[in-house]
Amino acid sequence: MEKFLGEIKKVLNKVGVSGEIDLTTPPNPEMGDFAFACFNIAKEWKMSPVEAAKTIEARIKNYELRIIDRVQAMGPYVNFYLKASELAKIVLGEIQKKGKKYGINNSGKGKKVLIEYPSNNTHKEFHIGHLRNVCIGNSLVQLYEQNGYKVYPVNYLNDFGNHVAKCLWGLIKFHKDEKPPANKQKWLGEIYAEASKKLTEPDALAIKTPGLAEQVGDMGKAEDLEYTVQKYREEVAEIQKQIESQDPKIWKVFMQTRQWSIDKFEEIFKQLGVEHKAVFYEKDLKDKGQKMVDDLLKKGIAQVGEGGAIIIDLSEYKLDIALLRKSNGAGLYLTSDLPLAMEKFKKCNADESIVITGTEQNFYFKQLYKILELIGFNKKLTHIGYGLVNLKEGKMSSRLGNVILYEDLYAEVFAMLKAESVERHPDWSEKKINNNVSVLAMAALKFDMQKHEAAKNITFDAKEATSFEGFSGLYVLYAIARINSILKQSKKSKAKIDYNLLDKPEEKHLVLFLAKYEEVVKSALMNYNPSEITRYSFDLAQSFNDFYNKHSILKAETESLVAARLQLVGAAKNVLENSLGLLTIGTVEEM
């Protein structure tokens, strides 16, 4: 693609256009492949944009042009039409030569980057919001890695916070004698949700429980309720203290439940294709963090605030006040995040550290990075916030009991696709169906999670995510399966490819699209936005389907045309697979 743009820019330079040249794509292919807008040059030349366009057109006619078929002024634009044969020859040749490496570059050679994700909590559920985090993280890892960076994917498990104390409190108080079910991690998540509910404000409780609604009006009863919540909270605080001091009363059950969570997460990560180079645990960082807080206090960067809590005043940077330590001495997220930043670089020496979390933590990360800056930590730190996964009914909330767990969604999608597959392929073995469907289900989910810009909230619609028509991973996989089928039925031809034969509009459009891939990869990396790849792979599949429906490949008029078209669809398959590869989506031979 750069080759063509460079060629056009060179020509424009020759006819007197200097400086930065921006080329755009005309709104429709009949108007050319690339366009140069003449508004700025017109000002420079002191004529109207229409006149400038005409002048450029007239001047270009004097030059010999290699890849440009013709040039035409249209209003204030100069439109360039590329030679379809030259285009096809260069693009398809390059794809054939580079194969799996087509589209990527070496921009990251020698550079190292840490990517931390999904940094979830033990003792909690793994829901589809976490799934989105993993999908975005996976794709960023691929984007960096394939472009030559040395990548260290790492995880930070929050196994030591207040949520653990809540969960263990719920476990001990209400489920002590129960036998854990098979899915222990999910069970802990449920207990955590239940415990959170019991610890909420009394009026919130009353709204949830109709029977209590009347009691709120009764002052005496409401006070009782408040007393209970107060008592519950004290018990949780006590448990948290026990955990932090490694009290043998709680340590065994803490370590055991923690391990249940970790085991399950690892199972999920394996299924999703996540490979962490290192995992950090809050448990191991808390003490270091507390020492850092002491140090900050000594240096006068931090201060003692209300009730004896340790704070740091960032209001001169418009970042309010950050809390480093609770008044009862217990740590918070921030307490452990300070040493985490350093430990990460100690373990994996990198030039940049990227952390992926929900956008609700944007402000928190600004505070964290400012504090690290104040203590002289000068590594490049980047926070990528991804939008919430909401449901059609509203926000996911464990308290309201409308959280969609990743495992449940996967099972549902798998079952649906399996039913469809069995119907389509009655001759396939159970094993073949299962293998195939597991790839399809993963493709559908990963694609769906990356359809929209990472920073934007998405509304998850189970019906749409499981319909698999249109803008979906299965659409792309289906295009690939079609190409596979064609390639399988084709005969090997030794004829030299005649690129002049690929002159139909759909063919040229497809080739142009294939050429665009390099730009898309670059842009997705620059914007930390895998959804650009997702959209591209769909558009490319669509471009192929359009061509496929209008022109026959195996039954084309001549043998050399068959060969040329096979080359074209082979290239399309190659690029489709490459783009899905960046999204860590696998493909199937047939479906």
Applying CB under 7 A, does 162 fall inside the site for RNA?
Answer: yes
Please state, in angstroms and rounded to a whole number, the distance separating the CA atoms of residues 247 and 587.
50
Query: In whole angstroms, what is the distance from residue 474 CA to residue 447 CA?
Result: 9
Site for RNA in 471-490 (CB under 7 A): 471, 474-475, 478, 481-482, 484-486, 489
Q: Is 458 in the site for RNA (CB under 7 A)?
A: yes
Binding positions for RNA, 296-335, rule CB under 7 A: 305-309, 311, 318, 320-321, 323, 326-328, 330, 332-334
76 binds RNA (CB under 7 A): yes
369 or 548: whose CB is closer to RNA? 548
Query: Of these, 75, 99, 401, 505, which contacts RNA (CB under 7 A)?
Result: 75
Shortest distance in whole angstroms from residue 334 CB to RNA:
7
Nearer to RNA, 485 or 558 (CB): 485
What whole-number distance in Å separates Cα of residue 531 and Cα of residue 22? Answer: 24
Task: Mark residues 247-276: x for contact with RNA by CB under 7 A, - for none.
Answer: ------------------------------
Count of beta carbons in the 10 Å neighbourhood of residue 232: 17
Measure the CA–CA gap between 547 and 526, rounded to whole angstroms.
31
- Residue 82's nearest CA partner among 532, 543, 503 is 503
Distance separating alpha carbons of residues 403 and 168, to the nearest angstrom: 21
Contact with RNA (CB under 7 A) among 61, 395, 399, 432: 395
User: In the range 527-556, which residues lie near RNA by CB under 7 A?
Assistant: 531, 535, 538, 542, 545-546, 548-549, 551-555
- Listed residue (420, 404, 432, 549) closest to 474, CA to CA: 420
Count, residues near RNA per rule CB under 7 A:
91
Q: Of 166 and 186, which CB lies nearer to RNA in the complex structure?
A: 166
Segment interacting with RNA (CB under 7 A) among 87-95, 174-182, 262-270, 452-460: 452-460
What's the closest the beta carbon of residue 10 comes to RNA, in angstroms? 18
413-429 residues labelled b (16+ CB within 10 A) or e (exposed)? bbebbbeebeeeeeeee
Measured in degrees and rounded to the nearest 5, phi and psi for residue 237 equal -60, -40
Which amino acid makes up residue 190? E
Q: Helix or strand or coil: residue 80?
A: strand
Query: Out of 440, 511, 561, 571, which residue is the one contacting RNA (CB under 7 A)?
Result: 440
In the bound state with RNA, the residue whose beta carbon lies nearer, of 13 and 200, is 200
Least CB distance to RNA at residue 550 (A): 7
Q: Does 372 bind RNA (CB under 7 A)?
A: no
Query: Which of residues 16 and 394 has its CB atom nearest to RNA in the complex?
Result: 394
Residue 163 Cβ, how far from RNA at the closest point, in Å? Answer: 4
SS (H, E, C) 329-358: CCECHHHHHHHHHHHHHHHCCCCEEEEEEE
Angle at 65 between CA 60 and CA 69, to 5 degrees: 95
Please state the closest distance from residue 340 (CB atom) to RNA, in A. 13
